[in-house]
Amino acid sequence: MAQKRAFNEGRRHFKKSKKQKTDTTVSAGSNEDVLLKDIRSMLQDLNIEKVEDVVIEPNEVELSISKLSSTGDGLAEKDGQIYVVPFTAPGDIVKAKVYKHTPEESYALADFLEVVKPSDHRTVKPECPYFSQCSGCQFQHLPYTFQLAHKRSVVEKAFRNFSGLSDSLLPTVGDTVGSPLQYGYLSWDAVPPIGFMKKGTRRTMDIEDCPIGTQAVRDGMKRERERVNKNIDTYQRGATLLLRESTTRSKDDGNTQDAKTCITDHKATSTEYVDDFRLDNPAGSFFQNNNSILPVVTSYIRDNILGEGQPPKYMIDAYCGSGFFTITLSTMFERSIGIDISSQSIDFASKNAKLNNLPDTAVKFIAGDANALFASVDKKLFPPDETAIVIDPPRKGCDEGFISQLIDFGPSRICYVSCNVHTQARDIGWLVGGLGERSGMYTIESLRGFDFFPQTSHVEGVAVLSRKVQQYDVEPDANVEPVS
């Protein structure tokens, strides 16, 4: 759930020495791949053929932005080339400076310089003075309703371009669920001293404050700046500062009170409360970074994971981490198991189960590679017909081996949560359409985005799938009476 710029985070992705060979391989579902698909689609819509002998010098150019890419960058066409410009809006006329041209794909990357004529969509004044320089946010100049609508289109395009499924197999994408907080939500950050990467460079900006951070994180940043300034000589090789919000809960006269602090030691333990469940986590490891939206997500999953008819009794949580989904959904199932490759995460997950008074007979955690997940699962304890699986993989998604195992296991229902809707679309395409010799076994019941990171181009995808009714491989003999 990274909140940095989606694609054009810096020129370092493109500058190569003359002696260095250029690797032109683009990983499927990566930000580069997503942007290229948007560029090619725009060229096709405009009936523009690629002309590889065009040369665009690194100079200033005036552009009319026509749309936003899925990476959050503005796209403009000029003289048969597509220009990619961050921090813009459809309808903007802007000045930009080209710094990289890729003639074989007919596009150029450019730095945003200034607005010549603002778009009608540019109605919001950014709350951060570093916006359009810092790489953290992309959309502070756009109203929140526009951001949510754009992110819905990102999910739609992801499944259209990456799932390999026909439109008839894709559901209507629901409206993107907004974050209760649009600023002051980010509960974790790791920043180079003393700031963030400057847009288009490898240089660090000296940033005094970050308005998307929670108040505890913002206060922690100020303290860390002062500490680093006093000891600047000790950072000869630089350092990365951890800022993690943690919650201490107390009760006074029956009223619950939460005190927020900022942890800067990555070996320390942070604590958060979601749906009144206490969740401890290593401060330096991954945990969801927008606590305000987490109860909204868990409520949505509870409302959809059981489905109609006979509900599943058991749950398997793949990529469980410190047990967030296993624990917050545990009351819905007779038995749940969480699996993660990190033994440290499993230790914390097991501790979290005890902190929340969940018995071992109801919730269990084991360390194991998700790619060999089902070797660890006893089908007598988790019969596929009565089991739901929650998947929350890293950005790269699941590999073919895992999807093959999942199809072979055949759980009755799947909830796939993803920080990369493009690899999510690819994986769900395999589950629905088949993979290799394995036939697709699932239909997509619901699909929508959740806005974990307002003001950025990122959108989280949540999809719920149900297993198809099994068909006979051979039609039953019509002359044989069924056994009642």
Sequence ranges of the binding site for S-adenosyl-L-methionine: 288, 319, 340, 392
Helix (H) or strand (E) holding 191: strand 188-191
Nearest to 108 by CA among 74, 79, 82: 82
Per-residue CA distances from 97 to 15, 72, 100, 140 (Å) = 16, 18, 9, 21
Tokens of 454: 């307002």
Active site (annotated) includes residue 419:
yes
- C-beta atoms surrounding 332 within 10 Å: 16
Catalytic residue (choose from 128, 262, 415, 419): 419
Question: Is there a contact between 322 and 348 (Cβ–Cβ < 8 Å)?
Answer: yes
> How far is C-alpha 44 from the chain's CA centre?
28
Helix (H) or strand (E) holding 243: strand 241-252
CA 346, CA 36: separation in Å to the nearest integer?
A: 39
> Per the annotation, where are the binding residues?
288, 319, 340, 392
Cis-peptide into 339, omega within 30 deg: no
Torsion angles phi and psi, residue 211, rounded to 5: -70, -15
Q: Which amino acid belongs to residue 42?
A: M
Measured CA angle at 298 (ends 293, 303), to 5 deg: 125
Taking 3-state DSSP, the helix, strand and coil percentages for the chain, each rounded to the nearest 5, stand at 25, 30, 45
Question: Is there a contact between 430 and 419 (Cβ–Cβ < 8 Å)?
Answer: no
Residues taking part in catalysis: 419
